[in-house]
C-alpha cells in the first residue's frame, strides 16, 4: 500500500505533487517554465520542498543560460560524451572544480563565458581537444588501445598527426597539399 506524505503545515492532509506552467522573464525574453510544487488536500496549502525547489531553480537556470547564449546542460553533457570523458576528467581538463560539470550539466549553475568559449572551441575542433589533453598531461588517462588521428588546417595545408597507443606522436607526420581544381580532376 502506498503511503502518502502528511502535510507539514496542517499535519492532517496528504500532499500530492503538481506542476504548472508559469511565465518567466529574463533580459526581456519570456518563456513558460514548469513550476513544481506540492498541494495539501485538506488545508489547500501549496509549497515547494527541497526537491521541487531544486527542479524550479534548474528550470530557471536553463532558461537564463539559453538567453545568455551559453551552452545548455544537455549540450555540455553531449560534449563530454563525445570525448568519453567522466565529469571528473572534464573538470581536470577544462577547470572549474571537482563537481563543476555535474553542476553545469544539471543546470545548477551557469558556466562562465570563458569556460563556455573553451567548451565551444573543443566541440568544434577535435584537434583543440587533443592539444588540451597533452597540455594538461592527461594523455595517459585515455584508452591505450585507441589510435587517434587529428587534423589541423592551416592555409590550404592539412597536417595529419598520428597518436599511438602510448599517446606519443608518431615519428611520421604526413602533410597533404591540395592540388586545386585542376589537380583534383586528375584523380577522378
Domains of the chain are 15-67 (3.10.20.860), 70-142 (1.10.260.40), 143-188 (no CATH)
Cα→Cα distances 181→177, 178, 185, Å:
12, 9, 6
The pLDDT, as a whole number, for residue 143 is: 53
**Grid cell of 176 as nine digits:** 597533404
Q: Is the separation of the CB atoms in 34 and 55 below 8 Å?
A: yes
**Grid cell of 67 as nine digits:** 538567453
Helices (H), 68-187: 73-82, 87-94, 100-105, 113-124, 126-135, 180-186
Q: What is the value of pTM for the model shown?
A: 0.67
Residuewise pLDDT in 10s, the chain (188 residues): 457 899 999 999 999 999 999 999 999 999 999 999 999 999 999 999 999 999 999 999 999 999 999 999 999 999 999 999 999 999 999 998 889 999 999 999 999 999 999 999 999 999 999 999 999 999 888 753 343 433 333 333 444 444 444 444 444 444 444 444 444 443 43
Amino acid at each position: 500500500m502506498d503511503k502518502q506524505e502528511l502535510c507539514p503545515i496542517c499535519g492532517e492532509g496528504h500532499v500530492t505533487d503538481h506542476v504548472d506552467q508559469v511565465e518567466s522573464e529574463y533580459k526581456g525574453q519570456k518563456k513558460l517554465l514548469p513550476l513544481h510544487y506540492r498541494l495539501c488536500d485538506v488545508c489547500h496549502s501549496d509549497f515547494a520542498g527541497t526537491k521541487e525547489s531544486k527542479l524550479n531553480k534548474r528550470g530557471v537556470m536553463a532558461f537564463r543560460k539559453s538567453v545568455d547564449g551559453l551552452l545548455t546542460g544537455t549540450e555540455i553533457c553531449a560534449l563530454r560524451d563525445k570525448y568519453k570523458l567522466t565529469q571528473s576528467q572534464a573538470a581536470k581538463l577544462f577547470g572549474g572544480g571537482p563537481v563543476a560539470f555535474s553542476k553545469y550539466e544539471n543546470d545548477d549553475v551557469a558556466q562562465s563565458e570563458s569556460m563556455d568559449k573553451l567548451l565551444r572551441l573543443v566541440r568544434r575542433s577535435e584537434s583543440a581537444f587533443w592539444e588540451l589533453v597533452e597540455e594538461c598531461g592527461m594523455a595517459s588517462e585515455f584508452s591505450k588501445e585507441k589510435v587517434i588521428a587529428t587534423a589541423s588546417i592551416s592555409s590550404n595545408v592539412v597536417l595529419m598527426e598520428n597518436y599511438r597507443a602510448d599517446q606519443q606522436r608518431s615519428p611520421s607526420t604526413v602533410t597533404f597539399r591540395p592540388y586545386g581544381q585542376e589537380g583534383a580532376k586528375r584523380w577522378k
